[in-house]
């Protein structure tokens, strides 16, 4: 390592440390290293979430443009589910399901390894499925009311959609999107 008149390392040799030196630095500053890793992982996950939301929103806007024909409301979810089902069956079989049991299996049976193709398939298929208008999950209500809660939520959604259609038609708005 080169040094200047004050004894400090200069140039390219400044960051050359032996493995034992790095181990010593990491052992002495373990909390700071974990904090840095936590911040980096959190930032990376946040960026991935933003990318997922943006991709899903933009793809959904292309699938359902404001002036689209009514037949698209039927054809897009059906074709989206068929195409995503084929992709999951043929190319991304490990991306099927909710992900919780698959992650547990990866941790216990595969040494914590989840392939990049599985991650990419899960990201892509979930994004396209949501953009197509297909609901994900079991559809079970999380409250004690069960079916009654789902019916109430569905009924209130239907009432709001009806109010929007009536308001749009009576105030001369063109198509969907205008409403109360």
Domain-wise residue ranges, the chain: 26-138
26-49 core/surface letters (b: 16 or more CB in 10 A; e: else): eeeeeeeeeeeeeeeeeeeeeeee
For residue 170, give both structure tokens.
């009576």
Per the CB < 8 A criterion, the answer to whether 52 and 131 are in contact is no
- Kindly report the number of other CB atoms within 10 A of residue 167's CB atom: 13
Region 144-151 average pLDDT: 49
Residue 3 has phi, psi (to 5 degrees) of -135, 155
**DSSP 8-state code for residue 29:** T
Tell me the β-bridge partners of 9: 3
Percent of the chain with pLDDT over 90: 17
Q: Tokens 């216990």: give the residue.
A: 108
- pLDDT tens across 57-70, in order? 999 999 888 888 88
Three-state SS letters, 69-84:
CCCHHHHHHHHHHHHH
Which has the higher per-residue pLDDT, 99 or 127? 127
């Amino acid at each position: 390592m080169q040094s200047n008149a004050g004894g400090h390392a200069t140039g390219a040799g400044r960051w050359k440390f032996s493995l034992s030196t790095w181990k010593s630095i990491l052992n002495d500053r373990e909390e700071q290293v974990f904090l840095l890793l936590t911040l980096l992982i959190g930032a990376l996950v946040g960026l991935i979430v933003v990318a997922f939301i943006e991709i899903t929103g933009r793809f959904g806007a292309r699938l359902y443009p404001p002036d689209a024909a009514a037949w698209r409301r039927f054809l897009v979810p059906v074709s989206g589910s068929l195409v995503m089902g084929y992709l999951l069956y043929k190319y991304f079989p490990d991306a099927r399901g909710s992900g919780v049991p698959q992650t547990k299996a990866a941790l216990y049976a595969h040494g914590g390894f989840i392939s990049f193709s599985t991650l990419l398939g899960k990201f892509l298929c979930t994004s396209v499925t949501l953009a197509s208008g297909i609901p994900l999950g079991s559809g079970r209500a999380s409250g004690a009311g069960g079916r009654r809660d789902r019916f109430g939520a569905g009924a209130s959604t239907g009432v709001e959609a009806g109010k929007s259609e009536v308001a749009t038609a009576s105030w001369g708005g063109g198509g969907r999107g205008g409403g109360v």
